[in-house]
Amino acid sequence: MQAKITVTETWLRKHRHLYDGATRHPFIGSIRDGNIDISAFKTWLGQDYIFVRAFVPFVASVLTKAYKGSDDGNGDVEVILGGVAALHDEISWFKKEAFKWGVQLSSIAPQKANQEYCRFLESLISPEVEYTVAAVAFWAIETIYQESFAHCLEDDSKTPPELKETCQRWGNESFGEYCNSLRNIVDRQLEKASDDVITKAEATLLRVLEHEVDFWNMSHRRT
């Protein structure tokens, strides 16, 4: 018997071009082929620290929505709580990494693409945004980083040794499993969602993909 095609699978096929644009961006390509401009990496590091700080309240809001909105026999709350805990670690890692690269986090202002992405996250915190819609954004945001950085760890990659730890942070297998758990949550929710919510969730996925591309563009210096 053939496995049923999930909603996320349908979307990823339909929006493959945009999805690949987010997960195979030239910034990621430049890490993978070893040509990364270190000043671009430092820009990304400082801007992503600001993003992750704004991501925390967003993920907390998804946690609240999971508690209220899922019939949580399926353990959504635990999976998302794991994500919150990982973010605590991630913030410490950014501070350590910034120190290593001489990046002064306290003096960095968010660039326009980052501001717009953070504003988008804030809009999703609203209680009016359904759990399913917010969960789709959460899954997509985590998965884009997982796929992007895992690409830099493949056998034929020439990722500089000093950037391997960064790539491991999101590209490792257990982060991949966590992203799969998020995807299962999302597909389970989408199975029982109304057409209206499915439409909103798909539009939200597209917005995330666009913001992620803009975010990479912000850091990537074209030569």
Ligand X SMILES: Cc1ncc(CN)c(N)n1
Residue type, 102: G
| DSSP-based helix, strand, coil % in the chain, nearest 5 | 80, 0, 20
CB of 142 to ligand X, least distance (A): 5
Under a CB-based contact definition with an 8 Å cutoff, are residues 44 and 105 in contact?
A: no
Q: Whose CB is nearest to ligand X?
A: 145
CB of 37 to ligand X, least distance (A): 19
Q: Which is nearer to ligand X, 67 or 93 (CB)?
A: 93
Binding site residues, ligand X, CB under 6 A: 48, 51-52, 55, 141-142, 145, 212, 215
Told to judge if 165 belongs to the known catalytic residues of this protein, a careful annotator would answer no
114: left (phi over 0), alpha (psi -120 to 50) or beta: alpha
Q: Which is nearer to ligand X, 139 or 145 (CB)?
A: 145
CB of 120 to ligand X, least distance (A): 11
46-47-53-59 Cα dihedral, nearest 10 degrees: -140
Q: Which is nearer to ligand X, 52 or 81 (CB)?
A: 52
Could you tell me which residues are annotated as the binding site? 48, 90, 142
Two tokens, residue 116: 């717009």
Which sequence positions are flagged as catalytic?
212
